[in-house]
């Protein structure tokens, strides 16, 4: 199985004895559209939203479903 992401993360998980299951789906804009890919997986789904400021020193926000978040950006 090919795992995307930082190989050091998977190495660290293994060293710590932390088991995990890896699932992937194509990019989709909404949780509703993604639900067809994870409907048979017994886990909480997280819609990942990525943001950063112009300096790039503040970044990443993850919001787990079913939380609905509306962001107004002027």
On whether residue 28 sits in a domain, the answer given is yes
On whether residue 19 sits in a domain, the answer given is yes
Q: How many domains does the chain have?
A: 1
Query: CB–CB of 62/50 below 8 Å?
Result: no
What is the spatial distance between Cα 66 and Cα 31, in angstroms, rounded to a whole number? 9
On whether residue 70 sits in a domain, the answer given is no
Strand residues in 4-71 grouped as ranges (E) = 46-52, 59-64
- Record the tokens describing residue 47, joined without a space: 């819609």
On whether residue 31 sits in a domain, the answer given is yes
Q: pLDDT tens, 8-24?
A: 988 999 999 999 888 88
Domain that includes residue 16, residue range: 7-64
On whether residue 55 sits in a domain, the answer given is yes
Nearest to 48 by CA among 74, 32, 29, 33: 29
Q: pLDDT tens, 8-65?
A: 988 999 999 999 888 888 888 877 888 888 888 887 766 666 677 888 888 777 666 6
- Record the tokens describing residue 68, joined without a space: 């609905």
């Amino acid at each position: 199985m090919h795992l995307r992401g930082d190989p050091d993360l998977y190495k660290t998980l293994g060293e710590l004895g932390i088991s995990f299951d890896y699932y992937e789906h194509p990019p989709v804009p909404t949780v509703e559209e993604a639900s067809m890919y994870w409907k048979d997986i017994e886990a909480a789904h997280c819609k990942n939203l990525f943001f950063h400021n112009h300096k790039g020193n503040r970044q990443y926000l993850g919001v787990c479903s079913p939380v609905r978040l509306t962001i107004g950006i002027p």
